[in-house]
Amino acid sequence: MSNSEPLPDVVMPFCPVRQMLRGQKALVTGAVSGIGRAVAIHMAQEGASVVINYASNDAGARDLVEEIEAKGGAAIAVKADVSDEEQVQAMFRRAIAEFGTIDILVNNAGLQKDSPFEEMTLSQWNTVLGVNLTGQFLCAREAVREFKRRGVVPAVSCAAGKIISMSSVHEVIPWAGHVNYAASKGGVMLMTKSIAQEVAPYRIRINSVCPGAIRTPINRDAWGTQEAYAELMKLVPYKRIGEPEDVARAVVWLASDDADYVHGVSLFVDGGMTLYPGFETGG
């Protein structure tokens, strides 16, 4: 081969050494883009078989399954609107039929419908609450039913099941112009902690991950231009935007037995966004 010829593409297989989620079955909602996609890939890399939930992007879901399989992982794609009870129940039935059970749920699907408060329509309110909060409720309920039915299998995990709720810094930071979104994430926080109280005796763990500004399609306006990025950095003490992988690594750790005594917490992955950056210079 001459020096000018391009090197062939090499697919690096997942490395099986000390995989943190070996033998586990994970369901990730909204897994075809952004944070969910990174979570699905990292979970597969750590040895989990992954159910890729998606709302509409058939080709994207197929590509992601192929990408995971090409690296030696296992995945299936299941289309379902997480805000629809029947579709969620059908998705869990399909996942359990395919993989035998579900050990990990990542409640990641979410969206924004922004509007000044007085102009916000009921449809914008209901859509955001329906996906971001009711969607997490419906999926968590199915997951808990399955975790309780199966119980702990010590060879697989110390816990009967793990749920990670994708929340946001806006579970605590109010957000003008995004009242529906902030209300949904505030709801996710107390839903998660209340479920945590209730299911702990069954060795079911549930925690929230609260990303700050992460480079994904949901917030392209906030990082898409140099000016927008410079404005955004005023809110981030660590002075870089987060990448989906920053969140994915935290999610994998929370789902693993390394985090077995971590329960009912909100883990902020935000470069310090919740540290009141306005006080950086002493206020």
**Residues engaged in binding ligand NAD (CB under 6 A):** 29-30, 32-36, 53, 55, 81-83, 108-111, 131, 166, 168, 211, 213-214, 216-219
Find the shortest distance in angstroms from Cβ 31 to ligand NAD: 7
Which lies closer to ligand NAD via its Cβ, residue 131 or residue 204?
Answer: 131
Which lies closer to ligand NAD via its Cβ, residue 182 or residue 204?
Answer: 182
Burial classification of residue 244, based on how many CB atoms lie within 10 Å of its CB (0-12 exposed, 13-18 middle, 19 or more buried):
buried
| β pairing state of 75-79 and 104-107 | unpaired
Residue 202 catalytic? Answer: no
Sheet holding 161-166, edge to edge: 75-79, 49-54, 25-28, 104-107, 161-166, 204-211, 266-269
Which lies closer to ligand NAD via its Cβ, residue 95 or residue 166?
Answer: 166
Find the shortest distance in angstroms from Cβ 255 to ligand NAD: 16
Burial classification of residue 141, based on how many CB atoms lie within 10 Å of its CB (0-12 exposed, 13-18 middle, 19 or more buried):
middle
Given the residues 181, 202, 261, 276, select the one marked as catalytic: 181
Closest CA to 50 of 23, 28, 21, 22: 28
Which lies closer to ligand NAD via its Cβ, residue 222 or residue 262?
Answer: 222
Find the shortest distance in angstroms from Cβ 248 to ligand NAD: 10
- Find all residues with CB under 8 Å of 125, minimum gap 6, and list them: 113, 180
SS3 56: coil
40 within 8 A of 68, measured Cβ to Cβ: yes
Which lies closer to ligand NAD via its Cβ, residue 47 or residue 211?
Answer: 211
Find the shortest distance in angstroms from Cβ 267 to ligand NAD: 12
Report how far residue 152's alpha carbon sits from residue 159's, in angstroms, rounded to the nearest whole number: 6
Length of the chain: 283
Find the shortest distance in angstroms from Cβ 166 to ligand NAD: 4
Q: Which phi and psi (to 5°) does residue 105 adopt?
A: -115, 130
Which lies closer to ligand NAD via its Cβ, residue 55 or residue 156?
Answer: 55
Find the shortest distance in angstroms from Cβ 265 to ligand NAD: 16
51 within 8 A of 102, measured Cβ to Cβ: yes
- Unique residue bearing structure tokens 């329906």: 130
Catalytic residues: 181
